[in-house]
């Protein structure tokens, strides 16, 4: 695997403000010295997502997610660690130098980089071709749709010449190989050998990823040709996965966050037209079925979805297929009532942006939209028809994850259909039970899910010592001198290897970037264990020395008592010989001496845990003031 040095990671984190980073993705609000937000990693109505600007760290008390700016970007955008670091490095203007590299991973990374470079150069060339004499008909097509030169430049619209030799000559001049062009999907490999250009005499619309990189193209037919489709898209490649890309999302993200809603349209030109008219929270799918990945992508930015599809039966079917996917991700769905025969492009050209915004503002809840359509088509005239349609609604209602929202909608749908609420509620409940027993279909094209790392087991006292070592420099120095004591306890106390890693690396507690860079390079199971410990998220106490001495004494006593218990088990063996017994008794005597030598503030219970002698409010229970952890075995 490519390795980014800890020094580089620390430099990037030092130049990064976690509040600014997270605030560029979701809305955050200041609450005293910290910041709060609705967690983007699980559905919630009350903010439990906290950002600590002093430690440059986030933690959600709802789902347990926590980490630094790299962790947030990695989780939010579903990136690898290296890609998340590079994204933040670009933001901070820092060059990333990778050290050791796995050959296979390096080949894949270089291939992706080469493809991104190729697509960028091709997009620039095709854009230049749009303004040549031979592309006059392409410019006329844009003009006929109300688009001028400025729009073409903003979206880098291009034209692929009808004569393929024009593009091939340019590709040779740029030293682009046939293999690279076939891998990009711009060229097609013939079965009997040779290659040809996929797109000919087409308006070329670049498709970009969330970061704004060109990753594919859509070619729009300019002259009627029954042998070819109106639109041709790039095939899936190393950089382009249709189910993971929404057209114009790179432009729409900020507007979606601002409006708390996203407008979904079917066509790319529809999306472009919306943006050009100021409706900037608009995205479009890539001419494929709406997928779970699309819904997860939208949930990062939007709280509501407005479907703005064509008014024909195909548009209704598309909306009906999108609803269960979106609602499963906790996204409320509304449907804009598009006039018959219209799409967003034609509507905006005829009626203007204000009328379009009014239509979006009056968008109907999905169930109202379905009921209204069914009623217009005469499908709700009789009780029998309404009951049959209620079963269809029950199946869709069962998909709403929030119980309160689902119950409110059951009442609303029952009222609209003039049927009994209890009957509809029972039908929905049956659908939910049926869905629980039904195996989930697996997408054959989906990559296998990686094995989920689990945190290593960690004793609460060791977790507290780790927290002190990371956030208190004198405590870290003091613990570093107790390395032998800790090493001896490692055999009996869980989590000591994590503490040893901290003391070996010695990240600077005064520098959040140093601590977070260390954590970023730590084994995932170790990092998860640290984040899961409650004391990790509170400041160390003022009496750090008393806290660290007491915690270490308890760890030592706990280890000694566990060893003593093992010796007692050995001594109870019926076949134990005298020769075997004597060394065990000597060990037991030594352990008793060591225990008696510990701080006399402690007494020891039969549960192998030292317990402090009775003293008001001295029970190591963690709280927000940074007090010490309760000692449980």
Inter-residue contact 167 to 196 (CB < 8 Å): no
In 3D space, the residue among 612, 630, 610 whose CA is nearest the CA of residue 620 turns out to be 630
- Which two three-digit tokens encode residue 354? 């204000």
Alpha-helical segments (H) within 52-100: 69-76, 81-92
Inter-residue contact 357 to 261 (CB < 8 Å): no
Three-state secondary structure readout of 243-306: HHCCECHHHHHHHHHHHCEEEEECCHHHHHHHHHCCCCCEEECCCCCCCHHHHHHHHCCCCEEE
- By CB neighbour count within 10 A (0-12 exposed, 13-18 middle, 19+ buried), where does 143 fall? exposed
What is the greatest pairwise CA distance in the chain? 105
- Flag whether pLDDT at 610 surpasses 90: no
524 — pLDDT class (breaks 50, 70, 90): confident
- Which two three-digit tokens encode residue 210? 């969330």
Three-state secondary structure readout of 482-519: CHHHHHHHCCCCCCHHHHHHHHHHCCCCCCHHHHHHHH
- Flag whether pLDDT at 8 surpasses 80: yes
| Partners of 263 in beta bridges | 282, 306
Q: What is the DSSP annotation of 147-175?
A: --HHHHHHTT-EEE-SSHHHHHHHHHHTT
Instruction: Tell me what the pLDDT averaged over the chain comes to.
Output: 84
Neighbours of 378 (CB within 10 A): 9
CA–CA distance, 602 with 596 (Å, rounded to integer): 10
Inter-residue contact 203 to 219 (CB < 8 Å): yes
CA–CA distance, 20 with 127 (Å, rounded to integer): 35
- Flag whether pLDDT at 165 surpasses 70: yes
Q: What are phi and psi of 151, to 5 degrees?
A: -60, -45
| Averaged pLDDT, 204-220 | 91
- Which two three-digit tokens encode residue 48? 């439990």
Q: Tell me: the pLDDT tens digits for 444-471?
A: 455 554 556 788 888 999 999 999 999 9
Higher pLDDT, 120 or 110: 120
Inter-residue contact 216 to 236 (CB < 8 Å): no
**What b-and-e string marks burial along 488-504, b requiring 16 or more CB atoms within 10 Å of the CB?**
ebeebbebbebbbbbbe
- Flag whether pLDDT at 367 surpasses 70: yes
pLDDT at site 215: 94
CA–CA distance, 551 with 630 (Å, rounded to integer): 10
Inter-residue contact 282 to 252 (CB < 8 Å): yes
pLDDT at site 407: 93
CA–CA distance, 23 with 29 (Å, rounded to integer): 9
**What b-and-e string marks burial along 188-212, b requiring 16 or more CB atoms within 10 Å of the CB?**
eeeeeeebebbbbbbbbbbbbbbee
CA–CA distance, 182 with 180 (Å, rounded to integer): 5
Inter-residue contact 121 to 92 (CB < 8 Å): no
CA–CA distance, 139 with 547 (Å, rounded to integer): 74
pLDDT at site 98: 67
Helix (H, G, I), strand (E, B) or coil at 67: strand
Q: Tell me: the pLDDT tens digits for 242-298?
A: 888 999 999 998 899 888 899 999 889 899 999 999 999 999 987 667 888 899 888
User: Could you say which DSSP state residue 457 is in?
Assistant: P
601 — pLDDT class (breaks 50, 70, 90): very low
């Amino acid at each position: 695997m490519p390795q980014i040095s800890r020094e580089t990671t620390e430099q990037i984190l030092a130049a990064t403000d976690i509040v600014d980073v997270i605030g560029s993705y979701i809305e955050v609000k200041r609450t005293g010295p910290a910041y709060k937000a609705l967690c983007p990693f699980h559905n919630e109505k009350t903010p439990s997502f906290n950002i600590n600007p002093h430690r440059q760290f986030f933690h959600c008390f709802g789902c347990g997610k926590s980490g630094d700016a790299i962790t947030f970007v990695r989780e939010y955008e579903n990136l690898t660690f290296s890609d998340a670091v590079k994204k933040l490095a670009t933001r901070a203007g820092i060059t990333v130098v990778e050290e050791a590299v796995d050959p296979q991973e390096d080949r894949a990374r270089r291939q992706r980089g080469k493809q991104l470079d190729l697509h960028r150069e091709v997009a620039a060339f095709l854009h230049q071709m749009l303004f040549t004499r031979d592309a006059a008909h392409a410019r006329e097509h844009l003009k006929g749709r109300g688009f001028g030169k400025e729009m073409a430049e903003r979206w880098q619209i291009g034209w692929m010449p009808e004569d393929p030799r024009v593009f091939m000559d340019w590709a040779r001049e740029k030293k682009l190989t046939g293999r690279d062009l076939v891998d990009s999907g711009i060229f097609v490999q013939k079965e009997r050998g040779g290659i040809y250009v996929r797109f000919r005499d087409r308006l070329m619309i670049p498709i970009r990823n969330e970061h704004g990189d060109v990753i594919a193209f859509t070619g729009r037919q300019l002259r009627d040709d029954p042998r070819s489709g109106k639109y041709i898209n790039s095939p899936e490649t190393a950089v382009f996965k249709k189910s993971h890309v929404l057209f114009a999302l790179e432009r729409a993200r900020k507007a979606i966050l601002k409006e708390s809603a996203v407008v979904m349209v079917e066509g790319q030109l529809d999306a472009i037209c919306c943006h050009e008219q100021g409706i900037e929270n608009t995205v479009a799918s890539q001419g494929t079925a709406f997928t779970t990945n699309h819904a997860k992508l939208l949930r990062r930015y939007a709280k509501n979805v407005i479907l703005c599809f064509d008014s024909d039966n195909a548009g209704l079917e598309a909306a009906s297929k999108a609803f269960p996917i979106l609602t499963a991700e906790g996204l409320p769905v509304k449907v804009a009532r598009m006039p018959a025969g219209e799409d967003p492009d034609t509507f905006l050209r005829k009626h203007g942006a204000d009328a379009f915004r009014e239509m979006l503002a009056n968008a109907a809840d999905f169930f109202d939209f379905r009921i209204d359509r069914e009623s217009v088509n005469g499908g709700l005239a009789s009780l029998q028809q309404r009951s049959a349609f209620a079963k269809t609604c029950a199946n869709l209602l069962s998909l709403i994850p929030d119980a309160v929202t689902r119950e409110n909608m059951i009442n609303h749908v029952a009222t609209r259909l003039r049927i009994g609420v209890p009957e509809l509620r029972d039908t929905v409940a049956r659908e939910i039970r049926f869905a629980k027993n039904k195996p989930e279909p697996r997408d054959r094209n989906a990559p296998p899910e990686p094995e989920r790392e689990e945190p290593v087991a960690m004793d609460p006292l060791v977790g507290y010592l780790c927290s002190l070592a990371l956030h208190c420099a004198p405590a870290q120095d003091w613990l570093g001198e107790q390395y032998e004591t800790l090493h001896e306890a490692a055999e009996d106390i869980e989590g000591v290897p994590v503490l040893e890693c901290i003391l070996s690396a010695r990240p600077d507690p005064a520098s959040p970037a140093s601590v977070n860079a260390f954590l970023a390079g730590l084994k995932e199971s170790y990092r998860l264990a640290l984040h899961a410990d409650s004391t990790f998220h509170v400041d160390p106490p003022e009496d750090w020395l008393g806290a660290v001495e007491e915690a270490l004494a308890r760890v030592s006593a706990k280890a000694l008592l566990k060893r003593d218990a093992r010796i007692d088990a050995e001594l109870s063996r019926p076949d134990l010989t005298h020769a075997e017994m004597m060394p065990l008794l000597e060990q037991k005597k030594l352990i008793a001496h060591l225990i008696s030598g510990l701080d006399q503030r402690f007494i020891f219970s039969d549960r192998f845990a030292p317990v402090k002698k009775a003293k008001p409010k001295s029970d190591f229970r963690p709280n927000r003031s940074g007090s010490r952890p309760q000692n449980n075995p």
